[in-house]
Amino acid sequence: MLAGRTVVLGVTGGIAAYKAVEVCRRLVDAGAHVAPVMTEGAERFVGRVTFDALASQPVQGSLFDGRDPIPHTRLGQEADVVLVCPATARLIGSYAAGISDDLLTATLLATRAPVLLCPAMHTEMWEHAAVQANIETLRRRGVQMVPPGVGPLAGGDLGAGRLAEPATIVAAVERILSPGDLAGLRILVSAGGTREPIDPVRVITNRSSGKQGYALATAAAERGAKVTLVTTVDRAEPPGVEIVRVGSAAEMQEAIVPGAAGYDVIIMAAAVADFRVSAPAEHKIRKSGGNLPALDLEPTHDFLVDLGRDKPEGQVLVGFAAETDDVIESARAKLARKGLDLIVANDVSAAGTGFEHDTNSVTILHAGGAEVQVPLSSKRAVADAVLDAVLRARS
């Protein structure tokens, strides 16, 4: 989403300026071209050389110290988005009043790109009527905000005004630059491997990390969908996504099936167990004379079949097939047997794919017979490819 996009990163003079370093790093890692602009006050908190080293081009800080006679105009025209992180009360007031007394405020007034402000200041300042009035003025003009959080502040105080976390800020930039092609859709994504109890201590599970499911939920939210993520794993929560935590296959079924008809898209990326212990022990099974306990297994209910059978008109149902042999043949058989619209097949025995990796390589099979190959890519890129296929299936 950020690859090849230009982000003008404005850094102002607040103690939270140190977090802008991490924001810069994350933007560059995501492929963005980051053009840093620091105010004089910002350089009292963070060294210019830090951003020189991390950003895509050297820091600019003045209207008059370079060979470019109109740097604010050039920056404003080249930007895909202008991000100010942190945005102090002074910056917010100057911007709202249309005062361009430095390079950053001049750039904000000279751009037609989307502007995203990340306010950060002490609670008393944040809650001041003048600051709130300026915020409201800017909102009416279309300026977007990442609201500050509540937490520890400079000086040991606790309250509202804390700069949002870098991951939240970068996600907001991605949402601004996303195509918004999933806006209005309700999407449910499942993630992780279910855990079937043996006794109160032990479980039967699998190697699924949930990374692909979380990537799907993140991408769908950034593309405008209202997303519910039903997950068995504890990972960083994607911003703006409703989280439902479950453990076993039966719990996942109970969390998904009753309300399934209310979703436009269901993506079952979770690795749901095929078997469970028929009678889990009430107490921990202890070693006794070296004898191994016998486990009586029974199949879990394949509720994806129920979802396919009862799928309302217009809903797109997506399954996953993690295979080690006969990958495409097995996946296409599941596609038909379970009444799916799409199935994502991947060979989890191949290098760099499947469980626990940050990359994946898949084939997306359509019920109509089409196939889309996604070569080894980040799981986020795979997620976008799956969502693209969902949109084609809805058309």
SS3 state at 175: helix
Could you identify the residue written with the tokens 């997303």? 227
CA distance 47 to 18: 9
Could you write out the DSSP letters of every residue in 280-329? --SSPPPPBTTBPPP--EEEPP-HHHHHHHTPPTT-EEEEEEEESSSHHH
Counting DSSP H helices and E strands in the chain, the numbers are 13, 19
Which of 40, 60, 47, 57 lies closest to 21, judged by CA? 47
- Pairing type for strands 265-268 and 242-245 reads unpaired
Could you identify the residue written with the tokens 């910002």? 42
Residue 156: how many CB atoms within 10 A of its CB? 6
ω into residue 58 within 30 of 0, thus cis?
A: no
* Residues contacting residue 272 through CB under 8 Å, at least 6 positions apart: 190, 193, 194, 249, 252, 300, 302, 304
- Pairing type for strands 33-38 and 6-11 reads parallel
CA distance 63 to 104: 9
* Residues contacting residue 37 through CB under 8 Å, at least 6 positions apart: 8, 9, 10, 11, 59, 60, 61, 75, 103, 104, 107
Catalytic residue of the set 134, 206, 291, 360: 206
Cα–Cα distances (Å) from 379 to 185, 209, 234, 356, in that order, read: 22, 12, 18, 11
Q: Enumerate the H helices of the chain as residue ranges.
A: 17-29, 48-54, 71-78, 89-97, 103-110, 123-126, 129-140, 166-177, 211-222, 249-256, 303-309, 327-337, 379-394
Active site residue 291: no
Catalytic positions, written as ranges: 206
